[in-house]
Structure 1
Amino acid sequence: MEICKAQLEHLDELAMLFDQYRVFYQQPSNVQAAKEFLRERLQQLDSVIFIAQHEGHAAGFTQLYPSFSSVSMQPIWILNDLFVASSYRRQGVATALMQRAIAFAKETNAIRLALATQVTNTSAQPLYESIGFSKDEDFYHYGLPL
């Protein structure tokens, strides 16, 4: 398995994975919209996407968005998306993607790698905890739907 930073040449396979990811979160399938969304992220350098490939096939991806800590005056990476195609699950793909994301955060001198997951996503939570992520007990996180 190879993990690389996604480029425009990966867009078609990445869009298919991204669409499956969105469907997992109860969104309607729309591969074309997924492709355009990802194209914008890649062209505008809004995010960093790592794609896992196995024998030339896209197996999974993770997408990181930049942020900053004002208090520490250092970068933070938000791991917003992690998805592994069903045929590649339980083969270490998610772990490898997470390890690459952690390495990237360290390479960019980030103070933290943050992520959030649904309370009901009990299949992902043990992975996060096994890597060293912990639930934040110091802050409440709020959201305002707009």
Structure 2
Amino acid sequence: MNITIRQTTEEDLPAVTTLMQEYIGDFYKKPLPATEQLHHLIRTMVAGQHGVQFILEQDGKAAGFATLYFLFSSIKASPVTNMNDLYVAEHLRDTEAEQQLFDTCLKYTRDHHFAHMAWVATPDNVRAQQFFERNGCTLVPWVDYMIQ
């Protein structure tokens, strides 16, 4: 299995759009945003101002992606990354490819001197929680809220 992970480019727009649609619609069972909205988001990540996105390719075919958003932590008075997305095709889950994608995000965070990398997982996504725990991640005692 030949795995490549790199930052997304404008040329990756169709492939990453498809991956994001799978992630949102198939994996999370949520309504899909308009394609134009996804394109705007991907292009924002390509520009690198508010975050960065990585694409995972298996044998030259798009098979996963991860998105880091740039935020600030008041508590640390420093910039941090939020790994909002870590998605790989089902046949790559719990494989070295998934691990490499996570490691790429962590390396980016450390190489660019962010204070930490954070993310959330849904309570029922036990597989993801186990993956993060195997990577030495700490469950923090915060409760997320959202208003729509």
| Alignment-derived partner of residue 114 in structure 2 | 110
Gapped regions of structure 1 (runs ≥ 5)? none
| Alignment-derived partner of residue 17 in structure 1 | 19
AA at the equivalent of 2:143: H
- CA-to-aligned-CA distance 1:79-124 (integer Å, 9 cap, x gap): 0011111233343222111100010000111111001000100111
Alignment check: 8 A CA contact 1:15 1:31 kept: no
Tell me whether 1:99 sits opposite 2:103 in the alignment.
yes
AA at the equivalent of 1:114: A
Tell me whether 1:28 sits opposite 2:11 in the alignment.
no
TM-score computed with the length of structure 2 as normaliser? 0.87
1:144/1:59 CA distance change after superposition, 3 Å: closer
| Alignment-derived partner of residue 71 in structure 1 | 75
Deviates further, 32-41 or 111-120: 32-41
1:28/1:69 CA distance change after superposition, 3 Å: closer
| Alignment-derived partner of residue 119 in structure 1 | 123
Alignment check: 8 A CA contact 1:6 1:51 kept: yes
Name the SS of the counterpart of 2:11 in structure 1.
helix
Alignment check: 8 A CA contact 2:67 2:83 kept: yes
1:125/1:2 CA distance change after superposition, 3 Å: same
1:18/1:136 CA distance change after superposition, 3 Å: same
Tell me the distance in 2 between the aligned counterparts of 1:79 and 1:136. Answer: 15
| Aligned equivalent of 1:54, options 53, 58, 63 | 58
Alignment check: 8 A CA contact 2:94 2:131 kept: no
Alignment check: 8 A CA contact 2:69 2:84 kept: yes
1:142/1:127 CA distance change after superposition, 3 Å: closer
Tell me the distance in 2 between the aligned counterparts of 1:95 and 1:55. Answer: 17
Identity in percent? 25
Deviates further, 32-41 or 87-96: 32-41
